[in-house]
Amino acid sequence: MTKNKPMTLLLIEDDATERNKFTDCANNRTDISFIGMTGSSDEGLQLVKEHKPKGVILDLLLYDGMGSGLQFLTELKKEYLEPRPIIVVTTHIPPNLVYTQNTTNTASSMTKKIQPERRGCLC
């Protein structure tokens, strides 16, 4: 019997506390594996091109990093990568600002309320 390969992910997140949450989550699972973590949208784009992860967890606002998640999405759209990674966006900005950006730029979104007891890692 062959073991399934874990889903490869890239994390683009500038906040060390948030990165640690994702690392803790991945350490408790066998079905996901991070190919890298960065706080830079430019480095994130290079890592996507080099490693071709199945998914990217992307912080829209990189206050302590370089660039922004929106910049990453704009540059990623210019690349003709096959297959394109699945993008999961994280942010602390109000949903109406995300909606405005998404309808005028590169991504689509879905918002939902998160119950206080469901916040944090789902591992």
pLDDT along the chain (123 residues), means of 10: 81 91 90 94 95 93 85 89 87 60 48 48 50
Angle between helices 41-51 and 69-78 (to 10 degrees): 40
Is the whole-model pTM more than 0.85?
no
Would residue 1 count as lying in a domain? no
Helical spans, DSSP H, in the chain: 16-27, 41-51, 69-78, 95-104
Would residue 123 count as lying in a domain? no
Would residue 54 count as lying in a domain? yes
Would residue 80 count as lying in a domain? yes
Would residue 2 count as lying in a domain? no
Would residue 95 count as lying in a domain? yes
pLDDT of residue 76: 92
- Give residue 11's domain range: 7-118
Q: Please report, in angstroms and rounded to a whole number, the separation of the first and last CA atoms in the chain.
A: 26
pLDDT of residue 94: 59
Give the count of domains, the chain: 1
- Domain at 12, CATH number: 3.40.50.2300
